Amino acid sequence: VWDPTPVAHNDIEDNALVVSGKMLISEKNWEMNPEDRVCKGRFVAQGCILLNKDGTRFQDPEDYWAPTATLAGARLVTAHAVAQGRIPQTIDLKAAYLQAELRDERPYYLKINPKVIEILPDAMRNAYTQIPKPLVRLRRALYGLPRSGHDFIMTFREHLTSVGWAPIEGDIALLYKNFGDQAKSVAVCATYVDDVIMSVAPKHAKTAWSEIAQRFTFDAPKTATKFLGMELKPKLLAIKDKPESFT
């Protein structure tokens, strides 16, 4: 995510941008039963305040476009699966944004909160305390940066297109690929940040998911039971047979 060795503020590049980081703690699925709730912590950038090297506020002229799957796109994937007699599959990309590099020529530096430095292991803490105004060089699209969503979706899209997938016109987060020469060989997928849903023939599933795995890390694909608030049930989709295991 960032370089392990801190640098002094005065030593960074003149065009560098500096951002502070902070820890967020929340309870996921708080509206559900207690056994279904999960306490999560995430270190994020305070991207609403980007500073130039001299400490002045940086006004970014860019309007970062970070498209995600629409409800219509997710329904299209589900409808495609039903039409082909399949059960849609889904994956959860691990720390999705952090799997994409920052796509900016300007270097980004992260200011670590002094309270965080205090609890670091001795060797790391000493490295920070011996440098005036220590910063670390960011390399990945840390959550909270204005451009992180854009950098991730473009990285995801460019990887899939490089292995033969094509975006569907009008929805950049919706892609398809024909793994054969027939309509039933077509796979369709939609991505909503770290969630991906796909309609793919069982015999092509391993290949389709492995193409994503060439660049991104995720757990084994599973039957899609929920996506974008939709509850998906095989019986309601009029599908009787489950596709073969992908693991």
CA 117 to chain centroid, in Å, comes to 27
Model confidence at 228, pLDDT cuts 50, 70, 90, reads: confident
Q: Give the global pTM.
A: 0.83
Q: How far apart are CA 148 and CA 44, in angstroms?
A: 11
Beta-strand ranges (E) seen in 64-204 are: 89-92, 108-111, 134-138, 166-168, 171-178, 186-192, 195-199
pLDDT for residue 29: 82
Per-residue pLDDT reduced to its tens digit, 81-98 = 989 989 999 999 999 999
pLDDT tens digits for 26-45?
Answer: 888 888 888 888 888 888 99
> What is the CB neighbour count within 10 angstroms for residue 87?
21
Can you tell me the mean pLDDT for 176-202? 92
Q: Find the distance separating the first CA and the last CA of the chain, reported in whole Å.
A: 29
Beta partners for 90? 197, 222
Q: Give the pairing type, strands 89-92 and 222-223.
A: antiparallel
- The percent of residues above 70 in pLDDT, for the chain, comes to 94
Q: Is the torsion defined by CA of 71, 72, 77, 82 positive or negative?
A: positive
Nearest to 45 by CA among 1, 15, 3: 1
Backbone angles phi, psi at 228, to 5 degrees: 50, 40
Strand order from edge to edge, sheet including 195-199: 166-168, 171-178, 186-192, 195-199, 89-92, 222-223
**54 vs 51: CA distance, rounded Å:** 8
- The pLDDT value recorded for residue 235 is 56
